[in-house]
Amino acid sequence: MKNDMTAIVRRTILLVSLVAGGTSLALAHHSYSAFDMAGQRVITGTIKKMDWTNPHTWIWVDVANEQGVVETWGIEGMSPNYLERRGWSRNTIKVGDKLSITFHPLKNGDKGGSFQSAQRPNGEVLGMTPPISEK
């Protein structure tokens, strides 16, 4: 039941962030020009580490490639300061969690990107109000 409620709260967070769309708040700590913000990719894997750090959280996830070789991907998310005020904690994503993560990939082809949303095997969606624009 608690998990259900948590999922509802998180879905609501995501929904609110989408509804609030079209308005820009200024100045994340960097430009998003390294990411292909028009592109989108989904990976599914196991959380290797969660960096609950400023200026951004980093989700490190082990993903098996087409040859079955496990590779570590790094997904940049909003800061802990921002997320804690919106229902997240440093334990929302834990080592060993299985997640499908949708993100904007790095333009240079490195195994990384900018977080858009994530989904657990039970369907719970994790919304993180998406990246804020630079300037």
Partner 1 sequence: MERTRQIIFGCIAASLALVPAAIAQTTVRKAPTAADWAALAKLPDFTGVWEVGLGGGGGGRAAAGRAAAPADAAAGGRGDAAAKGGRAGAPAGGGRAGRGGGGPSLTPAYAAKAQARVANPAEDAQAANCLPPGLPAIMNQPYPMEILMTPGKVTIVIEAYTQVRHIYTDGRPLPTDPDPLFYGTSVGHWEDDTLVVETVGLAQVPRGLTFPYSDKMKIVERFRLTGPDSLTIETTAIDPEAFTAPYSMGTRNLARHRTWTIAEYICEENNRNFIDDKGNAGTKLSNPLSSAK
Alpha-carbon distance 34 to 110, whole Å?
10
Candidate ranges 1-9, 20-28, 118-126; the one touching partner 1 (CB under 8 A): 20-28
Counting residues that bind partner 1 (by CB under 8 A) gives 58
- Residue 105 near residue 113, CB atoms below 8 Å: yes
Candidate ranges 2-10, 52-60, 118-126; the one touching partner 1 (CB under 8 A): 52-60
Distance in Å, CB of 79 to partner 1, minimum: 7
Among 7, 63, 125, 132, binds partner 1 (CB under 8 A): 132
The three-state secondary structure class of 53 is: coil
**Alpha carbons within 13 A on the beta-carbon side of 48:** 14
* Beta-bridge partners for 99: 45
**Alpha carbons within 13 A on the beta-carbon side of 132:** 17
Q: Is 48 in the site for partner 1 (CB under 8 A)?
A: yes
Among 47, 88, 99, 129, binds partner 1 (CB under 8 A): 129
Q: What is the β-pairing status of strands 70-77 and 112-119? A: parallel
Give the per-residue contact string, 72-91, with partner 1 (x = CB under 8 A; - = no).
Answer: x-x-x--xxxx-xxx---x-
Alpha-carbon distance 15 to 29, whole Å?
24
Residues of the shown chain interacting with partner 1 in the complex, contacts defined by CB under 8 A: 13, 16-18, 20-35, 37-38, 48-49, 51-56, 58, 60, 72, 74, 76, 79-82, 84-86, 90, 104, 106, 108, 110-112, 114, 116, 129-135
